[in-house]
Amino acid sequence: MVYRLLKKIIFISVFFLLPLNLNSNIIYDKDDIIISDIDLNLYKQLYFENFGENLNNPTAIKNIVILKNIIEHFKINNPNFLKKVDEVLVKEYGEEKMNIIILRDFIRYFKIKNEFINEYYVYSFDINDLNNIFKSFDKIELPISTDDCFTIEKLEDLKNNKSFLNNFFENLKKETRKYQALINDVKYNVCIDKRNIEILEKSILSYIDLITKEDFKKFVYDKQ
């Protein structure tokens, strides 16, 4: 389930690119990193399209320097990983777009960042994490049924229901959708629609992003 959402997060919007202009001005040239005004404007546009935030020039330049240092680290220390990433990018976005260096590096960077989220989910995410996520909600009110959700009996707040917690975690790991909960010694089907699934998935990913943020930040600045 979360793997599907990871794919959505990895997707980067590149539909509305600034027209390329051969006449560019160098605005940053330090430690073998060169940034032109075209690079800067394209990065700011990409960032706004994907994250809805208008960056000022100093912040955007700082971000570009960081991502270029990270990419260089992988070129030297893990070229095979970077090669595999690039092969996927060409298939997803086309070779023409991937020839735009700042665009290619922008997507590479966030692919690498998402590896931290994926690695935590696969190897470290446990039922205590899920319990923390459940506790972050005021309530988790979902329809319950005794006939595979053909008939809804009532809405039940399952925030503190341990059997539902265990069942939901099992579904996560097995990538299944057979949700159940034990209520007053009666086993119920829990009927979760697409909207509620997406709310829970996004909460899980936001939680993992927060958990891994410091590790990724340390990784980033260790490469500076």
Confidence at residue 222, expressed as pLDDT on a 0 to 100 scale:
61
Work out how many domains the chain is built from and give that number. Answer: 2
Tokens 């996004």, located at residue? 202
- Residue 136 belongs to domain spanning: 127-192
- Mean per-residue pLDDT for 171-176? 90
pLDDT in tens, 203-212: 998 899 888 8
Percent of residues, the chain, with pLDDT higher than 90: 48
Residue 36 sits in the same domain as residue 119: yes
- Mean per-residue pLDDT for 39-51? 88
Q: Is residue 167 part of a domain?
A: yes
Residue 134 sits in the same domain as residue 107: no
Q: CA 97, CA 90: separation in Å to the nearest integer? A: 8
Residue 151 sits in the same domain as residue 111: no
The Cβ of residue 67 has, within 10 Å, a number of other Cβ atoms equal to: 21
pLDDT in tens, 53-95: 899 999 999 999 989 988 988 888 889 988 988 898 888 888 8
Please give the radius of gyration of the chain, using alpha carbons only, rounded to the nearest integer.
22
Residue 109 sits in the same domain as residue 137: no
Confidence at residue 119, expressed as pLDDT on a 0 to 100 scale:
87
Q: CA 150, CA 168: separation in Å to the nearest integer? A: 20
Q: Which helix (H) or strand (E) holds 148?
A: none
Q: Is 1 a residue whose pLDDT tops 60? A: no
For 1-24, b/e burial (b = at least 16 CB within 10 A) is bbeebbeebbebebeeeeeeeeee
Q: What is the pTM of this model?
A: 0.70
Residue 68 sits in the same domain as residue 147: no
pLDDT in tens, 179-205: 999 999 999 999 999 999 989 988 998
Confidence at residue 128, expressed as pLDDT on a 0 to 100 scale:
97
Domain end marker among 67, 98, 123: 123
Q: Is residue 69 part of a domain?
A: yes
Confidence at residue 52, expressed as pLDDT on a 0 to 100 scale:
81
Q: Is residue 200 part of a domain?
A: no
Q: Is 3 a residue whose pLDDT tops 70? A: no
Q: Is residue 216 part of a domain?
A: no
